[in-house]
Every structure is written in C-alpha cells, then in structure tokens.
C-alpha cells in the first residue's frame, strides 16, 4: 500500500465522523439559541414541546444541508462532465469467464408503448457500445389488467422477431403477484437467477445509457465485495410547469445531494429501487424478505423493499455504493402536484413501516440511519404541522400577557427583556439552512461555465431558482398537509393501497383540484381568521403558510399546465442539461414514442382488447403459447365455465378485470373462449391475418 493510498483510506474513515459531527454541532447550536430565547421565566410544557420539535426538525434540516454542502465542495473539485466515464475494459477481460447481465424491468399495469419504447432506446444505446452481447432483457410483468397484458405480449413478440437470434429478450407474466415488486424480483431470482451474474433493475420509466450500463458492470467486476451500485436517476421528459420545476431542482441540486450522500455513506449506501446494478447471488442469498409480524399497514409484506434489501446486503458484509459520478441514468416523475402527492401516498406507508426496522437486530448503523431518514421524510410533515400549531398557541398565550413595568420596591420601570436578536438568529439560521444549498448550486454554475450554459446560463438559472423557490414556499404547506394526512391514516392503521402510477403528461382540472385542495383552502381561511382575530402579530408571520394553502387550487391547476412548462422552456427557464443537450438515448425514446408500432389486433378499442385477442387467431395463439402448461383443477374448470356462461348471457361488460384475466390465464379457458367467440351468432371482426398476408409473399 502506498503512502497516498493509506492516507486516502485514513481520510475515508473520517468521512462519517466529520459529517455527523457537523450535523450534531449545528443542531446543538440552533437548540441553544432557541432555548435561550424561551427560558425567560422558566420553561412551560408548551415551550418544552416547541424546543423538542425544533431540535428534531433542525436535525433533519441540518442533515440535508450538510449533505448538500459536502456535495458542493466535492463537485467544485470535480470536472463538470455529466456523462459516464468511458468503459476501459470489457467485463470478460476482468475475470476471464463470460457471464451475463440481465436488464430486469418489473412492470405492473404500465403503458406497454412507453415500456417498450424505453427498453428499445436503452437497447439501441447498448448496441452502440458494442458490448450488448453480455446483456439480456427480462420483462417481469405483474400486470393484472387483461388488456395491457395482451398488449405487452404483442409488443414482446414484435420486438423479439425484429431482434432475431440469439434471443436476448424475455417476457413472463406472473400468475400471482405475491409480495408485489420484491416478490416479482424474488420470483425472477428463483427461476432464472443462476443464469446471470448481475441484474440491473429498471423501473417502467427508467432510461439508462449503454455506456453507463457497461460501466456499472465494469465497476462490479473490479470489486468482488461490491453487491450493489445505485446510480442516481435524473428526472426528465415531463413538460408541465410543476414537473419542469422539479426536474430543474432535481438536476441542479440533486447532483450536490448525491455527491454529499456518497461522501458519508461510503460502502453502506442505499438502494432506491431502480437504476441500480445488483450482484444476483448475494441478493438471492440475503435479500429474501420476510413478512413482518402483525397486520397492515405495519405488518405483512415489506412495501419499500429497496432500503431493506440494501440493509440486508450490508448486514451480510457486502458493499452497497452510490455512484454519484455516473451520469446516463434517468427517470420520469409525476406530472402534477396531485400525482406527486399520490406517489407520496404509496411511498409513505412503506417508509413508515421502516420505523419497525430502525432498531432491529443486526443491521449496520448507517442502514438504521437510512431507515430513520426514510421515516423522517414523511414524519417531518406532521411534526412541522404540530410545530406551527404549537407556535400559534404559544403566541396566543404570550399575547395575553400584560407587561408590568413597576413591581416590588423598584422606583424606575423594569423593561421586559426581549429576545428579538435570538429569535431572529434562529429564524435566519433556519432559512439559511434551507436556502443556502440553492445558492451553492448557483455558485457551481458560475464557476463552471460549461455546466452553467447547460442550465440556460447563470442569469436565467438564477431567475429559475427564484421562481422555483417561490413555488416551493407555496407548495410546501400543501405537501405538509397531504403527508400529514397520509401519516395519520397509516397510524390509524388504514391501509393506503398501492395503486399503479399515472405517468404521462396530463393537466389538473378545476373539479380535481377542488376535490384535492378544497380542504386546504378551508383550513387556510379558518386558521387565517383565527390568527388574525386572536394573534394578529402571529398572523403576518404565518402568511407564507396561509398563502400556499389558500392558493392551492389555482397553483395546483396552473403548475399542471404543459403550455406554461413549454413557454418557460422557450424562455430558457428551468432548463436542465438533458433539455439543453438531449442525450441520444432520450432522443431515441422520443422517436420511439412518436412512431408507435402498429400491432395486429391492437388498433381497436383498447378496453376490449382482451376479447379481441381471444378471438384473433394469431393473438390467441401467441397468448396461449405464453401460458404455463397446466391443467386447471376441476373447481377451476367449473369457475371458468361459469365465467363463459356469464359472458354469453350478460356480455363482456358483466365481467370484472380479474374475471377477464382468469379467462385468459389457462389454455383451456382461452380455447373455450376462442371457439365460443367463433361460434357466436356473428363471427368476430378480426383485423386480418398476419399469416395470410405475409405468408403469401
């Protein structure tokens, strides 16, 4: 070991102590300022509550601030290249033994057009690297919707025919979607995990460049104790004003946060569920997830499986890293505030479930911190709400106090002691912690001109940051109330479900906005009136929160507008490097989406695709070929026959999606359905035979 390597290793050991010392010291400093201000005439229980809440919230804010600050320093010293470094070695060169990497994409009722357009873009990018032969794509479908299921199969078949031999594109639809996504991945490992050394997990909206995929494999090969590399995904491809602001913030500040996280996480990083490479065998050995004891929402299947899988790998002694220096990793985000909140609702339950794991036996300290931070990312909202309410009550009580200038034997008036300086310092310090990362990000753009240009230039980026900050202030109280509601629902043991995500651009109408934000507006009016009447001095401090809530309906509608997002883009606002210089892989995705493949029998009413697919001989034959060869039990056969009778008597509208799926799930039932449709009073209208038209040529 050289002296420089030894020094580097020594420094690496200091990363965690440095970070956590900074977080704790600044929190203690803020606490001392506030406690000095509220200890006048002793501390009341309410003041004690305020102090405790403030410390918890400041700890959370400081953790974010120092992560960003450290990331800022690291990025200052790094060249402003956003892409992945060129892969220098082939994977085979590292080990001498050939191996395969699976690109696995678990999907659940996603739009097949988008899924396959994305995969095609990734594959094209991979082919351009010339290293694609070591990769295979595996679509792990948990789709329950029978129409989408059929469409996925048609897309798969079309593409597999185009790719030719050897087959590198696989598809399977799980019979039962036990344990959701984690169960889907586990099912893959149990069935085909031995075929692959690595798997790269993609979400339905993930996009990764071929160069990044190859580099991820190279890094895994270079370190045999490395089990997982997470590449931070950059949000792209949305056009609404809301989404473009989030994309801008994610791209500009996200890089700093990722660099900071990588600094203190080191080899005990986290898994974010997708855009990550995983060594398959240790994953299979250590990441089988148990059901948590008790009932939902805290018991049962582990919903946010990714954090737990990373913690289990770390517990078993494997390294988990965040590759903050790798670009070429993208994802899409919810297009509107309401969709964003819906996604939060799904994630919230999973993250709160981690509260039970924070102190579970055997996990590494950093894994516990990841769990705690995940919990805190949702618990912070109700704590802020409680803090605001407690502050209002405290202000009300203070307003009732009448100053006494003469008491005892004092001849001269005794002026009440003021703590304006301390309170102002507390406020300024808190705001600085919240807003300084934005300033640091702008500073990075100023000192790195190439990067600055990709964000539209420093002046436009500064204006974008200002507008984004204004909207953040308006949106924060709305998200606070949303998340507080979700947390309350979960604590009251109301399961919040796990609905499929609505991903495409769409706009919020008045009715939808009123339904989602009506209560927010009402709360703003009532709280504002109470504050104005009873604590007028507090009212003005409270106005930023009140304004956000009172304006939530128009803000939600306005920010959902794609026209405004596009207008802002034309004005050079909220520009991201991915918009300024669109990477080829994203351009290819756009092209694929702009020219969707026409599939046989899929150009008709998509709601009835399942029955058309059962009628169309080719679609029927294809679907049957992808079903498992199993004979249904007698009970099952009777059930399927009952469904067919129902279909005959009452029409397709009488069947639920689950019943339609059941009919399509067994070859026997499908055969019955196929012949039944062809034996009906009128022959089914098919879209013409592929076999005839192409076979004749």
Partner 1 sequence: MGPGVGSDVVGTSPTAVTSASQGCGLEAGHWRRAAGRVAAYLAALGVQEPREVELLWGKVRLRVEARAAVVPLENPVEAAIEETHGLLDLWIASELGLEGDANTLCAARAVVLGGGVPGWSARWAGLSEHSLAPEIRALCVNAVPEPAPLTMEPNPIDLFMHRLGARLAAMIRCILGRPGDPDAAARGHP
Choosing from 42, 45, 86, 362, the residue that interacts with partner 1 (CB under 8 A) is 362
CA distances from 214 to 117, 177, 255, 480 (A): 20, 31, 21, 41
Q: Identify which range of 119-127, 378-386, 467-475, 622-630 contacts partner 1 by CB under 8 A.
A: 622-630
Nearer to partner 1, 191 or 413 (CB): 191
Q: Which of 29, 130, 194, 584 binds partner 1 (CB under 8 A)?
A: 194
Structure tokens belonging to residue 608: 């009835």
Using CB under 8 A, which of the segments 71-79, 118-126, 360-368, 547-555 binds partner 1?
360-368
**Out of 97, 361, 420, 633, which residue is the one contacting partner 1 (CB under 8 A)?**
361
178 binds partner 1 (CB under 8 A): no
Burial zone of 336 (CB within 10 Å; 0-12 exposed, 13-18 middle, 19+ buried): buried
Min dist CB 203 to partner 1, Å, is 21
Find residue 230's DSSP bridge partners.
276, 322
Q: Does 636 bind partner 1 (CB under 8 A)?
A: no
Q: Which stretch binds partner 1 (CB under 8 A): 247-255, 442-450, 549-557, 624-632?
A: 624-632
Structural tokens at position 547: 């304004």
Q: Please, what is the minimum distance in Å from the beta carbon of residue 363 to partner 1?
A: 8
As measured in angstroms, the least distance from the Cβ of 567 to partner 1 is 46
Scan for tokens 């704790």, then name that residue.
Answer: 24
Whether the Cβ atoms of residue 260 and residue 68 lie closer than 8 Å to each other = yes
User: Which of 195, 343, 506, 561 touches partner 1 (CB under 8 A)?
Assistant: 195
Interface characters, 295-324, with partner 1 (x: CB under 8 A): -------------x---x------------
Closest distance to partner 1 from the beta carbon of 529 (Å): 45
The only residue of 88, 161, 401, 605 in contact with partner 1, by rule CB under 8 A: 161
In the window 114-143, what residues touch partner 1 (CB under 8 A)?
136
DSSP state of 270: -
Residue for token pair 């948590």: 292
359 is a contact residue toward partner 1 (CB under 8 A): yes
192 versus 486: smaller Cβ distance to partner 1 = 192
- The residue count for binding partner 1 (CB under 8 A) is 74
Site for partner 1 in 59-118 (CB under 8 A): none
Return the range that interacts with partner 1 (CB under 8 A); candidates 7-15, 36-44, 183-191, 217-225: 183-191
Q: Which position has the token pair 């099912």?
A: 187
Q: How many CB atoms lie within 10 A of CB 42?
A: 7
Structure letter (DSSP) for residue 298: T
Min separation Cβ 266 and partner 1, Å: 23
Cα 60 to Cα 4, 29, 55, 67: the distances in Å are 35, 14, 9, 11
Is 16 one of the binding residues for partner 1 (CB under 8 A)? Answer: no
Q: Write out the two tokens for 81.
A: 């290249």
Residue 167 interacts with partner 1 (CB under 8 A): yes or no: yes
Q: Could you tell me the end-to-end alpha-carbon distance of the chain, in angstroms, rounded to an integer?
A: 69
For residue 382 the two structure tokens come to 């109700």
Reduced to 3 states (helix: H, G, I; strand: E, B; else coil), residue 196 is coil
Binds partner 1 by CB under 8 A, chosen from 389, 529, 621, 658: 621
**Residue 193 touching partner 1 (CB under 8 A):** yes
Cβ atoms of residues 620 and 614 within 8 Å = yes
Among 463, 626, 646, 657, indicate the residue that binds partner 1 (CB under 8 A): 626
Please report how many Cα atoms fall inside a 13 Å half-sphere around the Cα of residue 602, on the Cβ side: 19
614 φ, ψ (degrees, to nearest 5)? -75, -25
Task: Tell whether residue 190 is a contact of partner 1 (CB under 8 A).
Answer: yes
Per-residue x/- marks for partner 1, 261-300, CB under 8 A? -------------------xx--xxxxxxxxxx-------
Within the chain, what is the greatest distance between any pair of CA atoms?
A: 115
Site for partner 1 in 367-426 (CB under 8 A): none
Nearest-approach distance from CB 490 to partner 1, in angstroms? 18
Q: Are 274 and 244 in contact (CB under 8 A)?
A: no
Helix axis angle for 458-491 and 510-534, nearest 10°, is 90
| CB-based contact 205:332 (threshold 8 Å) | yes
Q: Which of 97, 598, 633, 697 binds partner 1 (CB under 8 A)?
A: 697
Q: How many CB atoms lie within 10 A of CB 692?
A: 8
Q: Which is nearer to partner 1, 311 or 441 (CB)?
A: 311
624 binds partner 1 (CB under 8 A): yes
In the range 544-603, which residues lie near partner 1 by CB under 8 A?
A: none
Least distance from partner 1 to the Cβ atom of residue 611, Å: 15
Q: Which two tokens stand for residue 384?
A: 């802020």
Work out whether 180 is an interface residue with partner 1 (CB under 8 A). Answer: no
DSSP count for the chain of H helices, then E strands: 28, 10
- Judge whether 593 and 117 are in contact, CB under 8 Å: yes
* Residue for token pair 């996480």: 265
Considering only 88, 401, 605, 629, the residue that binds partner 1 (CB under 8 A) is 629
Q: Which of 50, 189, 490, 664 binds partner 1 (CB under 8 A)?
A: 189
Window of 236-244, 248-256, 591-599, 616-624 that interacts with partner 1 by CB under 8 A: 616-624
* CA–CA distance, 655 with 653 (Å, rounded to integer): 6
Q: Are strands 135-141 and 207-208 parallel, antiparallel or unpaired?
A: unpaired
* Residue number, 195 or 506, with CB nearest to partner 1: 195
* One residue of 131, 132, 157, 255 binding partner 1 per CB under 8 A: 157
Min separation Cβ 35 and partner 1, Å: 31
* Nearest residue (CB) to partner 1, 171 versus 198: 171
Pairwise CA distance, residues 28 & 311, whole Å: 29
User: Which range of residues in 238-246, 437-445, 469-477, 614-622 is near partner 1 by CB under 8 A?
Assistant: 614-622
Give the 3-state secondary structure of residue 509: coil
Bridge pairing between strands 329-331 and 226-230: unpaired
Contact 155, 265 (CB under 8 A): no
Q: Is 31 in the site for partner 1 (CB under 8 A)?
A: no
Q: Which is nearer to partner 1, 258 or 287 (CB)?
A: 287
Of the pair 281, 502, the CB lying nearest partner 1 is at: 281
Tell the smallest beta-carbon distance from residue 690 to partner 1 (Å): 4
Q: What is the DSSP letter of 608?
A: G
DSSP string of 563-591, one letter each residue? HHHHHHHHTTTT--HHHHT--HHHHHHHH
645-684 residues in contact with partner 1 (CB under 8 A) are 667-669, 671-672, 674-676, 678-679, 683
Q: 40 or 641, CB closer to partner 1?
A: 641
Minimal distance, residue 488 CB to partner 1, in Å: 23
Residue 361: CB minimum distance to partner 1, A: 4
Tokens describing residue 10 = 């020594």
Give me the least distance between CB of 603 and partner 1, in Å please: 16
Helix (H, G, I), strand (E, B) or coil at 132: helix
Q: What residues contact 669, with CB distance under 8 A and at least 6 apart?
A: 632, 640, 643, 644, 662, 663
């Amino acid at each position: 070991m050289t002296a420089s390597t030894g020094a580097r290793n020594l420094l690496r050991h200091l990363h965690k102590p440095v970070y956590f010392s900074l977080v704790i010291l600044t929190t203690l400093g803020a606490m001392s300022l506030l406690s000095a201000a509220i200890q006048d005439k002793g501390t009341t229980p309410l003041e004690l509550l305020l102090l405790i809440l403030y410390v918890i919230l400041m700890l959370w804010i400081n953790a974010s601030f120092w992560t960003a600050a450290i990331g800022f320093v690291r990025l200052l010293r790094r060249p402003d290249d956003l892409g992945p470094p060129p892969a220098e070695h082939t994977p085979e060169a590292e080990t001498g033994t050939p191996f395969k990497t699976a690109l696995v994409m678990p999907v659940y009722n996603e739009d097949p057009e988008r899924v396959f357009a994305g995969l095609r873009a990734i594959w094209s990018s991979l082919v351009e690297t010339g290293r694609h032969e070591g990769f295979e794509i595996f679509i792990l479908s948990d789709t329950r919707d029978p129409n989408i299921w059929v469409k996925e199969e048609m897309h798969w078949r079309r593409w597999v025919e185009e790719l030719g031999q050897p087959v590198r594109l696989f598809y399977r639809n799980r019979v039962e979607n036990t344990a959701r996504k984690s169960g889907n991945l586990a099912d893959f490992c149990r069935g085909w995990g031995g075929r692959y050394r690595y798997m790269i997990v993609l979400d339905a909206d993930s996009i990764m460049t071929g160069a990044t995929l190859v580099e991820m494999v190279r890094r895994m090969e270079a370190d045999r104790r490395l089990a997982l590399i997470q590449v931070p995904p950059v949000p792209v491809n949305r056009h609404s004003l809301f989404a473009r602001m989030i994309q801008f913030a994610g791209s500009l500040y996200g890089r700093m946060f990722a660099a900071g996280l990588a600094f203190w996480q080191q080899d005990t990083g986290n898994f974010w569920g997708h855009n990550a490479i995983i060594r398959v065998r240790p994953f299979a050995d250590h990441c089988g997830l148990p059901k948590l004891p008790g009932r939902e929402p805290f018991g049962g299947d582990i919903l946010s499986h990714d954090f737990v899988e990373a913690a289990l790998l770390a517990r078993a002694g494997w390294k988990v890293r965040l590759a903050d220096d790798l670009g070429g990793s993208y994802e899409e985000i919810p297009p509107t505030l309401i969709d964003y909140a819906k996604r939060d609702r799904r994630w919230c339950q999973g993250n709160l479930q981690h509260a039970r794991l924070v102190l579970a036996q055997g996990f590494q300290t950093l894994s516990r911190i990841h769990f705690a931070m995940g919990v805190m990312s949702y618990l912070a909202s109700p704590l802020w709400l409680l803090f605001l309410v407690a502050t209002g009550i405290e202000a009300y009580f203070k307003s009732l106090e009448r100053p006494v200038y003469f008491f005892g034997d004092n001849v001269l008036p005794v002026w009440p002691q003021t703590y304006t300086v301390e309170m102002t310092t507390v406020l300024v310090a808190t705001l600085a912690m919240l807003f300084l990362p934005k300033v640091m990000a702008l500073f990075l753009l100023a000192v790195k001109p190439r990067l600055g240009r990709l964000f539209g230039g420093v002046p436009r980026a500064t204006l974008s940051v200002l507008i984004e900050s204004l909207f953040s202030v308006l949106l924060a109280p709305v998200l606070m109330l949303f998340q507080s509601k979700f947390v309350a629902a979960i604590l009251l043991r109301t399961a919040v479900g796990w609905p499929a995500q609505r991903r495409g651009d769409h706009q919020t109408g008045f009715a939808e906005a009123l339904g989602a934000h009506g209560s927010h507006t009402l709360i703003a009016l009532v709280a504002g009136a109470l504050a104005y009447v009873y604590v007028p001095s507090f009212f003005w401090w409270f106005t930023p929160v009140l304004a956000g809530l009172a304006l939530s309906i128009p803000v939600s509608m306005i920010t959902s507008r794609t026209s405004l997002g596009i207008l802002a883009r034309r004005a050079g606002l909220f520009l991201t490097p991915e918009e300024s210089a669109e990477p080829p892989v994203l351009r290819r995705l756009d092209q694929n989406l702009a020219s969707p493949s026409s599939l046989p029998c899929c150009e008709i009413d998509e709601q009835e695709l399942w029955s058309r697919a059962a009628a169309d001989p080719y679609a029927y034959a294809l679907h049957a070929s992808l079903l498992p060869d199993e004979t249904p039990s007698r009970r099952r056969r009777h059930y399927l026959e009952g469904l067919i009778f129902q279909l005959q008597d009452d029409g397709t509208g009488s069947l639920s999606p689950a019943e339609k799926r059941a009919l399509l799930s067994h070859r026997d039932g499908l055969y019955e359905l196929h012949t039944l449709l062809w034996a009906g009073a009128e022959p089914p209208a098919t879209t013409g035979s592929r076999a005839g038209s192409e076979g004749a040529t």
